[in-house]
Amino acid sequence: MPRPAPSKADRLKAVRARIAAIEAGGTGAFGVLPFGDARIDAAFPAGGLPLGRWHETVGEGLEAETGAVATAFTAALISPLAQRGAVVWVMRRDDLYAPGLAGLGFPAERLIQVLARDEAEALSALEDALGTAGVAAAVCEAEGADLTAGRRLQLACERHGATGVLIRRRPFGGPARGAGPAGALSGSLCATRWRVASAPSEPEAGAPASLLGPPRWLVALERCRGGRTGEWLMEKNDGAHPLRLVADLGDRELAPAQPVRLVG
């Protein structure tokens, strides 16, 4: 006999169970993207950035409007995923510089750019991209995602295992969202949240001091579901892993106290 179709109550129960698993911080079955350094990978419950989830990156100060530093870090972070499929980049402003991404090791030929008219359309395009077969990752520049939007994004990630990144970026001169109940952001369903700032680069060993070294970022992992937070100084790497740890800023030991000499 054919199996009876699940009832509406059964389907609703299954959806609620999936949402509960998401909120519990489960890593899912889509694997991880390791950083190749145990000092970073140890912060994540499965030893690397969880795939099939969505993440947030955000800059500080004026970077909350320009998004340049968060964009560069995001491009380096997800560049290995571009080898697995297309990467969709949803923008509110047409200012993404593809050759710059290529300089960060991101294969621009895998990039699909989408220009959205407003915030709602941007989040909708991100959700559609994440749920499309053949898309390995999707990035969206938006002010944020509330609880409902966050759940929809996560369910879209789970359809084919795509990984999403929401770059928090507000309009030029616009007020920051979250200044009141109407603009409050949830972000409670993102797997990780990264706060990124630029850092001075240093020439590579043996190179003239006048030459710039690889780009560097001060990176704070402010949220990691099921793991722990951390702060690091990272730089672009040309090896198997696109980001290299320069210094661990979160667990620095205090310098030994120097003896005080009294004169008199």
Residue 97 sits in a domain whose CATH number is 3.40.50.300
Local confidence band at 64 (pLDDT 50, 70, 90 cut-offs) = confident
The reply to whether 155 falls in a domain is yes
Cβ burial 53-64 (10 Å sphere, 16+ → b, else e): bbbbbbbeeebb
Q: Report the half-sphere exposure of 18 (CA within 13 A, side-chain side).
A: 15
Which one has a higher pLDDT value, 52 or 263? 52
The reply to whether 108 falls in a domain is yes
Which one has a higher pLDDT value, 64 or 129? 129
The reply to whether 154 falls in a domain is yes
pLDDT above 90 (res 185): no
Q: Are 245 and 234 in contact (CB under 8 A)?
A: yes
Residue-wise pLDDT for 9-21, tens only, equals 756 655 555 554 4
Which one has a higher pLDDT value, 208 or 133? 133
Q: Are 169 and 210 in contact (CB under 8 A)?
A: no
The reply to whether 7 falls in a domain is no
Tell the burial category of 172 from Cβ atoms under 10 Å away from its Cβ (0-12, 13-18, 19+). exposed
The reply to whether 216 falls in a domain is yes
The reply to whether 255 falls in a domain is no
Q: Which of 121-130, 156-165, 178-187, 237-246 has the lowest mean pLDDT?
A: 178-187
Q: What is the pLDDT of residue 154?
A: 95
The reply to whether 54 falls in a domain is yes
Q: Per-residue pLDDT averaged across 59-75, rounded?
A: 91
Local confidence band at 81 (pLDDT 50, 70, 90 cut-offs) = very high
Q: What is the pLDDT of residue 202?
A: 83
Count of structural domains, the chain:
1
Contacts of 99 (CB under 8 A, 6+ apart): 108
pLDDT above 50 (res 179): no
The reply to whether 6 falls in a domain is no
Count of CB atoms situated within 10 Å of the CB of 28: 18
- Two tokens at 182? 């109407």
At 137, phi and psi to the nearest 5? -155, 155
Q: What is the pLDDT of residue 184?
A: 41
Q: Residue 73 is part of which domain span? A: 28-172+188-203+212-248
| C-alpha triplet 79, 82, 86: angle, nearest 5° | 145
